């Protein structure tokens, strides 16, 4: 019936004669545009400071254009060489290399590609450096044979492994950084595990995850009672306690970590106290810093507020009458807590845990200062590759793996607990 | 412990006092006994200490002084979960992470009841409040009235002998509230449970209760069945708080047995029943219900005192007429008359004379 009347009368018209649907859409579009304008600065900021850097980092973890760009002729000439034959590449390849090296040396770029390939095959960098030094004087017309010339410069140029490395890493994108980041490498027949003593990253990643888990766990244990007090104390005491909880935020991270150094070192406050009390003999002071224990203690302390605050905000909304109701129904204090109160605080625990865990696995300063060698995290390796070894590709691959781990955990959490169950406030 | 006081008292408060801060008494000298099966309502303005009394009975607050007895035994040192008292909270306090059936099973589970028996009882309790079809839902998926029913069922499912309810209908709309008032009293009487019901709504208290305790300022002002409370208020607080009420102030000029004469401040005199006045010359506040005021002289006793009144306003309310008068300087003197074919409709501006039977007019304390 309403259909019939609609077809009879045509579409509903607005006052100015345009179809109502269109004028509604126009009105809404204007609203949407205005809303978009309001968040545009933030959007732009996030794009420039967050999305783009992450995108760039992800790209760097596979980017390998450098070899092709600096050694274009060599890459082409080397394409036909069979690395399994055990023979060195032909003279044509060496000729191409000579031409490439002369050009690269003039542009001072030969060391870059040397450093890049050195990540995959240690020792290559020096061969490139030496060859580059001579290459400026190469006479491409009259010189040669180039094979001999290169072998004379550095005998590495006669190593088929070096050539295999150049060949393997000539495509513009590579999985090499990622393989490296999971302790693998490209061997003669595809990807293979590195030798035992060269494996570091997987162990480090496992340690990072495990220690972050421990830190999250100890944060939950310590934060729960504090959050409960915050939510249940009378206003004035609760405010006081809240200030104490927030106090660490007003102190520099570096200062707090250094304070832990002073407390935990062998001649530090805690050891002094234990010796004074007589629990520990003076000649066997406890090693509680520069190891995993030190990292866990200091990071638990530093991340604790991130656990307390979400827990508190959830507990605050739980009406005390639930506990009373449970008790009036015959539950003991423990049953009332465990069956009625605790389940309602799970969203807070979840939110705090995600926050603390994600912050923990990316933490860098504290493990670097109090972790020694056994208590450092994967981020310390990332920092090392960014600022010391300058292997940005590997740093990016490690970072990308970290990112994936976080996303996978987030996904798993969503499956198990449900992300709607997370309350931050 | 030896039984004290009334031997058929199921619940007894004996000289109970309560202070939260050590400075003010929130409950001052509370004495109350309830027989088994009674429906008693604590009625009073907000802050008068009703909830505190209930919480002391339930065990969530401890009395600063005095004894609370349950079935003759002092329960001061029994923790709440061992008291076996059912409780309905104002916000219902249904556990949000459990289904309705799980909520009801909770008290049975903590009593270690077997699964089949538990399911049986849960089902029966839900049917009792007509919520049998909702066992699988979460509390948030129910309307306020439905949550209320579930809360009631949960408080009754473990068959407590005593049930406490703290303003359980406060959050419902009027119609639902009236319906639930009926449901609750029906259930309480059918199951024979003793009920302490707290409300600040006097209509609720009057319609539901066997007896009503009117609270004010931490004391019980009057404890009586609804009809006595309404018709024979013991002091001016109760008279004011329960129902509509006209008051006039004056001085007692004559007392003889169960009647007295009060001279109002403008010199007019009226007949009253002395309640809180004992001697001539005392100041008093007389209280008269709007429906007991008579303006038809024929229906008054021979020689009864009358007062001059001017009609200010006539309000037609359907079933009744509500007329506002000026009497002895009081411009808020209300009379109510039934809408009947022969009923007089008073016109604003008319000068009339009003009076009443002395037993309908009570001379109370002046405070
Ligand atoms: N937990 C408490 N701490 C301190 N004062 C309270 C507490 N509970 C109630 N009071 C005070 O006790 C008085 C009586 O409160 P309550 O028993 O809740 O009254 P009602 O239920 O009659 O409204 C009020 O003045 C209230 O402020
Ligand atoms: Mg109350």
Of B236, B260, B278, the residue at which a domain comes to its end is B236
Question: What is d(CA B57, CA B77) in angstroms, rounded to the nearest whole number?
Answer: 11
**For residue range A10-22, what is the model confidence (pLDDT) as tens digits?**
677 777 778 888 8
> Hey, whose CA ends up nearest to atom 1 of ligand 1?
B20
> Coil, strand or helix: which one is A411?
helix
**For residue range A58-97, what is the model confidence (pLDDT) as tens digits?**
999 999 999 999 999 999 998 888 888 888 888 889 889 9
Q: Residue A424: pLDDT band by 50, 70, 90 thresholds? A: low
Please check whether residues B232 and B187 belong to one and the same domain: yes
pLDDT at residue B337 tops 50: yes
Tokens representing B78? 């029994």
Question: What is d(CA B316, CA B336) in angstroms, rounded to the nearest whole number?
Answer: 10
Smallest Cβ–Cβ distance between B107 and the set A319, A329, A333 belongs to: A329
Please check whether residues B74 and B202 belong to one and the same domain: yes
Question: What is d(CA B237, CA B115) in angstroms, rounded to the nearest whole number?
Answer: 52
Please check whether residues B203 and B300 belong to one and the same domain: no
Q: Do A329 and B110 touch (CB under 8 A)?
A: yes
Angle between helices A392-416 and A52-60 (to 10 degrees): 120
Q: In this structure, what CATH number is given to the domain that contains residue B260? A: 2.40.50.100
SS (H, E, C) A340-354: HHHHHHHHHHHHHHH
pLDDT score for B303: 73
Q: Do A326 and B95 touch (CB under 8 A)?
A: yes
From ligand 1's centre to the CA of B48, what distance in Å?
8
From ligand 1's centre to the CA of B26, what distance in Å?
7
pLDDT at residue A419 tops 90: no
**pTM (2 decimals)?**
0.80
Q: In this structure, what CATH number is given to the domain that contains residue B133? A: 3.40.50.300
From ligand 2's centre to the CA of B46, what distance in Å?
6
**Residues of chain B found within 8 Å of residue A335, distances taken between Cβ atoms:** 110
Q: Residue A192: pLDDT band by 50, 70, 90 thresholds? A: confident
From ligand 1's centre to the CA of B176, what distance in Å?
28
Q: Residue A3: pLDDT band by 50, 70, 90 thresholds? A: very low
**What is the average per-residue pLDDT within B142-170?**
93
Tell me if ipTM is over 0.90: no
Please check whether residues B99 and B221 belong to one and the same domain: yes
Of B217, B236, B255, the residue at which a domain comes to its end is B236
Please check whether residues B156 and B284 belong to one and the same domain: no
CB-defined site of ligand 1, < 6 Å: B 20, 26, 44, 46-52
pLDDT at residue B206 tops 90: yes
From ligand 1's centre to the CA of B17, what distance in Å?
13
pLDDT at residue B7 tops 60: no
Query: Beta-carbon neighbour count of residue A68 at 10 Å?
Result: 16
Nearest ligand, measured from the Cα of B214: 1
Please check whether residues B206 and B270 belong to one and the same domain: no
* Ion ligand 2 — residues with CB < 5 Å: B 51
Note the residue count of chain A. Answer: 425
> Hey, whose CA ends up nearest to atom 12 of ligand 1?
B26
Nearest ligand, measured from the Cα of B90: 2
Nearest CA to CA, how far is B59 from chain A (Å)?
9
Percent of chain A with pLDDT over 70: 96
SS (H, E, C) chain B: CCCCCCCCEEEEEEEEEECCCCCCCCEEEEEEEEECCCEEEEECCCCCCHHHHHHHHHCCCCCCEEEEEECCEECCCCCHHHCCEEEECCCCCCCCCCCHHHHHHHHHHCCCCCHHHHHHHHHHHHHHCCCHHHCCCCHHHCCHHHHHHHHHHHHHCCCCCEEEEECCCCCCCHHHHHHHHHHHHHHHHHHCCEEEEEECCHHHHHHHCCEEEEEECCEEEEEECHHHHHHCCCCHHHHHHCCCCEEEEEEEEEEECCEEEEEECCCCEEEEEECCCCCCCCEEEEEECHHHCECCHHHCCCCCCCEEEEEEEEEECCCEEEEEEEECCEEEEEEEEECCCCCCCCCCCCEEEEECCHHHEEEECCC
SS (H, E, C) A218-239: HHHHHHHHHHHHHHHCCHHHHH
Categorise residue A286: left if φ over 0, alpha if ψ from -120 to 50, beta otherwise: beta
**Residues of chain B found within 8 Å of residue A331, distances taken between Cβ atoms:** 81, 106-107, 110
Please check whether residues B150 and B291 belong to one and the same domain: no
DSSP code of residue A129: H
Q: Do A327 and B111 touch (CB under 8 A)?
A: no
B1 in a structural domain: no
Question: What is d(CA B117, CA A5) in angstroms, rounded to the nearest whole number?
Answer: 60
Which residue segment(s) compose the domain that B231 sits in?
9-236
B3 in a structural domain: no
> Coil, strand or helix: which one is A191?
strand
**Residues of chain B found within 8 Å of residue A330, distances taken between Cβ atoms:** 81-82, 84, 107, 110-111, 158
pLDDT at residue A5 tops 50: no
Q: Is the CB of A329 inside 8 Å of chain B's CB atoms?
A: yes
List the single residue in B with minimal CA-CA distance to A329: B107
pLDDT score for B1: 40
Q: Which residues pair with B164 in a beta bridge?
A: B87, B196
pLDDT at residue A6 tops 50: no
pLDDT at residue B138 tops 70: yes
Smallest Cβ–Cβ distance between A330 and the set B89, B91, B111 belongs to: B111
Question: What is d(CA A312, CA A391) in angstroms, rounded to the nearest whole number?
Answer: 43
Q: Which of residues 269-328 of A touch B (CB under 8 A)?
A: 319, 321-322, 324-328
B355 in a structural domain: yes
User: What is the tally of structural domains in chain B?
Assistant: 2
Q: Is the CB of A251 inside 8 Å of chain B's CB atoms?
A: no
Pinpoint the alpha helices (H) of A278-377.
292-316, 321-328, 333-335, 342-361, 365-370
Tokens representing B193? 């449970």
> Which residue's structure tokens are 């006669």?
A158
Percent of chain B with pLDDT over 70: 98
**For residue range B219-249, what is the model confidence (pLDDT) as tens digits?**
999 999 999 999 999 999 999 999 899 999 9
Q: Which CATH architecture has domain A202-421?
A: Orthogonal Bundle (1.10)
**Nearest Cα to B196, choosing from B176, B211, B216, B174?**
B211
List the single residue in A with minimal CA-CA distance to B55: A324
Q: Where are the domains of chain A?
A: 2-60, 65-174, 202-421
Please check whether residues B248 and B230 belong to one and the same domain: no
List the single residue in B with minimal CA-CA distance to A340: B95
CA angle at A73 for the pair A69 and A74, rounded to the nearest 5°: 95
pLDDT score for B266: 85
Atom of ligand 1 nearest to the CA of B42: 22
Q: Which residues pair with B11 in a beta bridge?
A: B34, B70
Of B236, B260, B293, the residue at which a domain comes to its end is B236
Atom of ligand 1 nearest to the CA of B45: 22
Mean pLDDT of chain A: 88
From ligand 1's centre to the CA of B95, what distance in Å?
25
Distance from the first to the final alpha carbon of chain B: 42
Question: What is d(CA A58, CA A399) in angstroms, rounded to the nearest whole number?
Answer: 8
Biggest distance spanned by C-alpha atoms of chain A: 102
The DSSP bridge pattern shows strands B39-43 and B194-199 to be: parallel
């Amino acid at each position: 019936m309403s259909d019939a009347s609609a077809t009879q009368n045509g579409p509903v018209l607005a006052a100015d004669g345009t179809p109502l649907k269109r004028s509604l859409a126009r009105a809404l579009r204007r609203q949407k545009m205005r809303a978009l304008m309001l968040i545009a600065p933030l959007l732009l900021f996030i794009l420039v400071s967050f999305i783009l850097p992450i995108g760039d980092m992800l790209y760097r973890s596979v980017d390998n254009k450098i070899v092709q760009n600096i050694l274009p002729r060599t890459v082409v000439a080397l394409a036909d060489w069979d690395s399994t034959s055990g023979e060195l590449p032909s003279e044509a390849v060496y000729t191409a290399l000579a031409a490439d090296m002369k050009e690269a040396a003039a542009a001072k770029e030969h060391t870059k590609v040397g450093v890049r390939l050195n990540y995959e095959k240690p020792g290559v960098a020096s061969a490139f450096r030496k060859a580059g030094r001579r290459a400026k004087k190469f006479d491409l017309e009259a010189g040669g044979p180039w094979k001999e010339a290169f072998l004379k410069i550095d005998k590495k140029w006669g190593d088929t492994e070096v050539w295999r490395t150049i060949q393997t890493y000539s495509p513009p994108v590579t999985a090499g950084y990622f393989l490296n980041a999971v302790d693998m490498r490209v061997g003669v027949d595809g990807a293979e595990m590195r030798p035992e003593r060269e494996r570091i990253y997987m162990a480090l990643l496992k340690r990072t995850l495990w220690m972050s888990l421990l830190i999250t766990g100890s944060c939950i244990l310590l934060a729960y009672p504090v959050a409960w007090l915050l939510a249940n104390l009378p206003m004035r005491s609760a405010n006081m306690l809240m200030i104490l909880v927030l106090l660490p935020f007003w102190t520099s991270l570096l200062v707090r970590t250094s304070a832990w150094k002073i407390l935990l070192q062998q001649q530090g406050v805690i050891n002094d106290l234990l010796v004074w009390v007589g629990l520990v003999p003076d000649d066997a002071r406890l090693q509680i810093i520069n190891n995993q224990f030190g990292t866990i203690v200091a990071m638990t302390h530093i991340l604790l507020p991130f656990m307390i605050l979400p827990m508190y905000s959830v507990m605050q909304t739980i009406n005390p009458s639930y506990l009373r109701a449970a008790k009036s129904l015959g539950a003991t204090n423990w049953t009332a807590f465990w069956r009625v109160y605790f389940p309602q605080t799970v969203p807070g625990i979840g939110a705090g845990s995600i926050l603390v865990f994600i912050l923990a696995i990316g933490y860098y300063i504290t493990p670097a200062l109090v972790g020694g060698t056994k208590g450092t995290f994967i981020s310390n390796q990332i920092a090392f590759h960014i600022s010391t070894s300058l292997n940005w590709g590997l740093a990016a691959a490690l970072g990308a793996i970290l990112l994936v781990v976080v996303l996978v955990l987030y996904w798993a959490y969503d499956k198990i607990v449900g992300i709607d169950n997370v309350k931050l406030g | 412990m030896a039984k004290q006081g009334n031997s058929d008292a199921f619940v007894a408060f004996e000289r109970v006092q309560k202070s939260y801060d050590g400075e003010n008494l929130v409950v001052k000298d509370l004495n109350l006994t309830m027989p088994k099966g009674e429906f008693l309502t604590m009625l009073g303005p907000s802050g008068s200490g009703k909830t505190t009394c209930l919480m002391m009975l339930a065990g969530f607050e401890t009395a600063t002084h005095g004894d609370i007895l349950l079935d003759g035994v002092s329960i001061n040192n029994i923790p709440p979960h061992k008291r076996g008292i059912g409780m309905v909270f104002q916000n219902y306090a249904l556990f949000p992470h459990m289904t309705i059936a799980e909520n009801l099973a909770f008290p049975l589970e903590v009593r270690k009841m077997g699964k089949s028996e538990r399911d049986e009882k849960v089902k029966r309790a839900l049917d009792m409040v007509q919520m049998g079809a909702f066992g699988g839902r979460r509390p948030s998926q129910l309307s306020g009235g439905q949550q209320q029913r579930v809360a009631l069922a949960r408080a009754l499912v473990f068959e407590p002998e005593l049930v406490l309810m703290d303003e359980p209908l406060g959050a419902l709309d009027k119609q639902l509230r009236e319906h639930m008032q009926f449901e609750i009293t029906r259930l309480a009487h059918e199951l024979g449970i003793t009920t302490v019901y707290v409300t600040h709504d006097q209509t609720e208290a009057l319609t539901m209760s066997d007896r009503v305790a009117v609270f004010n300022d931490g004391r019980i002002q009057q404890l009586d069945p609804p009809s006595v409370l309404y018709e024979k208020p013991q002091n001016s607080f109760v008279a004011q708080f329960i129902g509509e009420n006209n008051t006039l102030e004056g001085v007692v000029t004559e007392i003889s047995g169960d009647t007295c004469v009060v001279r109002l401040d403008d010199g007019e005199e009226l007949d009253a029943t002395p309640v809180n006045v004992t001697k001539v010359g005392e100041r008093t506040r007389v209280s008269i219900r709007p429906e007991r005021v008579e303006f038809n002289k024929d229906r008054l006793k021979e020689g009864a005192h009358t007062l001059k009144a001017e009609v200010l306003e006539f309000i037609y309310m359907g079933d009744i007429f509500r007329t506002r008068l000026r009497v002895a300087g009081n411009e808020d003197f209300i009379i109510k008359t039934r809408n009947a074919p022969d009923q007089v409709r008073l016109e604003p501006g008319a000068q009339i004379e009003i009076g009443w039977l002395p037993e309908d007019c009570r001379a109370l304390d002046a405070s």
